[in-house]
């Protein structure tokens, strides 16, 4: 008990750090957002005519993006989701730099009625690591 009293702040920080590491994957699972790797994303694009949506900022998108991807920054998605209505019956693969913003975008798209939404795990970084092409 003396150890706990002497180190209460270290214990609180350790608990918070563990929560921050464990909660994001659990919340994604609970929200129904599906994560796909680069191989699965390419299969969706080639076999199911999936649309790639890049939710990074303009400068990030202009520095290199998945070929033929649509671009709507995450901050504008709430207002501009109507631009994607014609793709509602197709799978959407959502991309950002690392996979965090695209996970949020998937949640937004689900709320607007998009059923088949996938988050590219690792984002454009994973795409580049797999030596897949980017266009500018």
Helix axis angle for 8-31 and 100-111, nearest 10°, is 50
Q: Which of 14-18, 51-55, 93-97 has the lowest mean pLDDT?
A: 14-18
Question: Among all residues, which ones are annotated catalytic?
Answer: 96
User: Could you state, in order of their start, the residue ranges of all structural domains in the chain?
Assistant: 1-31, 32-129
User: What CA dihedral angle connects 54, 49, 28 and 129, to 10 degrees?
Assistant: -60
The residue with tokens 């949020």 is 104
The third-level CATH classification (topology) of the domain covering 32-129 is Oxidized Rhodanese; domain 1 (3.40.250)
Task: Output the pLDDT for position 19.
Answer: 78
Reported as a single tens digit per residue, the pLDDT across 59-83 is 999 999 999 999 999 999 999 999 9
| Secondary structure class of 115 (helix, strand, coil) | coil
Is the full-model pTM beyond 0.85? no
């Amino acid at each position: 008990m003396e150890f706990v009293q002497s180190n209460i702040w270290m214990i609180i920080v350790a608990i918070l750090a563990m929560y921050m590491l464990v909660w994001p994957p659990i919340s994604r699972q609970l929200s129904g957002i599906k994560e796909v790797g680069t191989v699965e994303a390419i299969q969706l694009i080639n076999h199911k005519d999936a649309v790639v949506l890049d939710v990074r900022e303009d400068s990030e998108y202009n520095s290199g993006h998945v070929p033929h991807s649509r671009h709507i920054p995450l901050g504008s998605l709430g207002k501009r989701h109507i631009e994607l209505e014609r793709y509602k019956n197709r799978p959407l693969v959502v991309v950002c730099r690392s996979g965090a913003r695209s996970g949020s975008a998937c949640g937004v798209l689900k709320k607007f009625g998009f059923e088949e939404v996938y988050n590219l795990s690792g984002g454009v970084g994973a795409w580049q690591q797999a030596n897949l092409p980017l266009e500018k």
